[in-house]
Structure 1
Amino acid sequence: MAKQDRSALIVGASRGLGLGLTRAFLARGWAVTATVRGEAPALAALSPVAPEIRRVDIDDDAGVARLRDDLAGTSFDVVFVVAGIADGAQVPLPQGDRATALKVYETNAVSPIRFAEAFADRIAPGGLMVLMSSILGSVSLNEGGSMESYRASKAALNTLARSFSARHRDAPFGTVLMHPGWVRTDMGGPEGDIDVATSAEGMAEVVEGRLGQRGCVYLDYRGETVAW
């Protein structure tokens, strides 16, 4: 399949890693549909090739259903759910606000899987469902604590993704949980190890290399396996 025949749906693309991934896939010749919750001037300004932009909030089931209807008849080689939040991440869970922790769980774990389920039959044979996880979601690597609600939400996402993959074991697509690295973004902070372009280009390369492969894997932006 020629790259120009490949298509991706990037969910949560207004800034940061979602914007970077949109730019990276467009540069590789892919057709990209990118979703945003509101205005996204940086996304709209991409050139010389721009993505198709759609609005959706993944926490809104009715909105996701409308997007699915709007994209009826369209399939994607890759659906990449990037959207996530880190509200209250620096506050230890016992001292934090309960509603905030539950919202992080909803947006980072429940909503991505519900979105994945809604679009599972829109993935082309040999394609991938990719969910933005984090090394902080690794239970076995959690030796230092910190960022407890965020860690827990990503660990939950990993578990739910394994269940999603098992539920669709006979489907002709694979599932990838992706750790983008510690990236200098609004969420990752200014002290991250790498910039958005390095992470996004690495993830795009990994995704292209996984096309046609089934099962569920947990990888970083270099293609290395992350411990569960």
Structure 2
Amino acid sequence: MSTTSDRHALVIGASQGLGLVLADELARRGWQVIATTRRDGGELQARADAWNGRLEIEPLEMTDPAQPAALRERLTGRSLDLLFVNAAIDRGDLPIDRVSTDMFTEVMVTNALSPLHTLEALRTLVAPGGTVAVMSSDQGSISRNTEGGYELYKASKAALNQLMRSYTTRHADDGHTKLLIDPGHNRTRLGGFDAPLAPQESIPAVVDVLEAQAGAPGLRFLDRHGETVPW
């Protein structure tokens, strides 16, 4: 692992919302951060300019299978202490009988399949003792699914969690800490602007968890307080 003053992170999906605040918080703590976005400019570029080299930007459309591999080639020779995949979409609060096949496919590809494709493409950049993390949600907890609503989104996060379990089984001996993170219900475009948490409140707590868990073996599903979320 790198020293405290020389830690390197790659944040996938940082153009807005939780990913943007995560990249900014890591840079504030002294990490050297690479952040990906699907489009140029915007707030991420403004943050990169403000950090004067500590935060750099790479283009990535995660749902295009060729792009994570291309990013891997561009980053050849770089070593990461943290690879964090943050990506999710929601197509509204519909019961499953009103979800079209196209909508189901879009959400599952974005929220479950593409994050794991991205991890597989980029995992060899992570140093021994480094961390591979994915932004999940307690909405993906089957045991906590006791209230109605958002059936497709919940299913996609449960699928993400299951695929991360399989990933951990296949790569049990790689020496990486593996985390699924529930950041809580935040005021973002995805979470809605009446949500109880601001990303500027929750994300520093998430980074505390990431830093505290560094070097821990196996896979854990944790909330922003470091508490275990039931599967």
TM-score of Structure 1 vs Structure 2, range by shorter chain: over 0.9
Q: Displacement, 1:183?
A: 0.3
2:31 matched residue in structure 1: 30
Residue 109 of structure 2: aligned partner: 106
Q: Is 1:56 equivalent to 2:57 in the alignment?
A: no
Question: How far did residue 207 of structure 1 move?
Answer: 0.2
Q: 2:198 aligned to 176, 179, 195, which one?
A: 195
Partner of 2:135: 132
Is 1:212 aligned with 2:209?
Answer: no
Cα distance in structure 1, aligned partners of 2:152 and 2:28:
35
Cα distance in 2 between the residues matched to 1:174 and 1:164: 12
> C-alpha offsets along residues 150-174 of structure 1, whole Å, 9 cap, x if unaligned?
0000000000001101101010101
Which residue pairs with 1:150 in the alignment?
A: 153
Query: Aligned equivalents of 2:182 and 2:119: distance in 1?
Result: 18
Q: Which amino acid aligns with 2:217?
A: R
Letter in 2 for 1:106: V
Superposed counterparts of 1:50-89, under 5 Å: 50-86=54-90, 88-89=91-92
Runs of 4+ in 1 over 4 A off after TM superposition: none
The one-letter code matched in structure 1 to 2:35 is A
Q: What percentage of aligned pairs have identical amino acids?
A: 40
**Alignment partners' CA distance in 1, 2:71 and 2:228:** 33
Distance 1:180 1:195 in 2: 10
Instruction: Tell me the equivalent position of 1:10.
Output: 11
| Distance in 1 separating the partners of 2:87 and 2:146 | 26
Structure 2 partner of 1:20: 21
Q: Which amino acid aligns with 2:127?
A: A
User: C-alpha distance in 2, partners of 1:40/1:132?
Assistant: 24
Aligned partners of 2:99, 2:75: CA distance in 1, in Å? 39
Q: 2:100 aligns with which of 97, 101, 124?
A: 97
Matched with 2:170 is 167
Give the Å deviation of 1:4: 2.0
Report if aligned partners of 1:7, 1:30 keep a CA contact under 8 Å in 2: yes
- Kept in 2, the 8 Å contact 1:174–1:216? The answer is yes
Using the size of structure 1 for normalisation, the TM-score is 0.97
Measure, in 2, the Cα distance between the counterparts of 1:127 and 1:199.
Answer: 22
Q: Partner of 1:77: helix, strand, or coil?
A: strand
Give TM-score, length-normalised by structure 2: 0.95
Shift of the alpha carbon at 1:98?
1.8
Counterpart residue type for residue 62 of structure 1: A
How many matched pairs? 227
Gaps of 5+ in 2: none
User: Secondary structure in 1 aligned to 2:20?
Assistant: helix
- Provide the aligned C-alpha RMSD in A: 1.1
CA distance in 2, matches of 1:71, 1:5: 17
Structure 1 stretches of 5 or more lacking a match?
A: none
The residue type equivalent to 1:4 in the other structure is S
Q: Which amino acid in structure 1 is aligned with residue 62 of structure 2?
A: I
State the alpha-carbon separation in 2 of the partners of residues 163 and 198 from structure 1.
32
Give yes or no for contact 1:81–1:131 (8 Å, CA) kept in 2.
yes
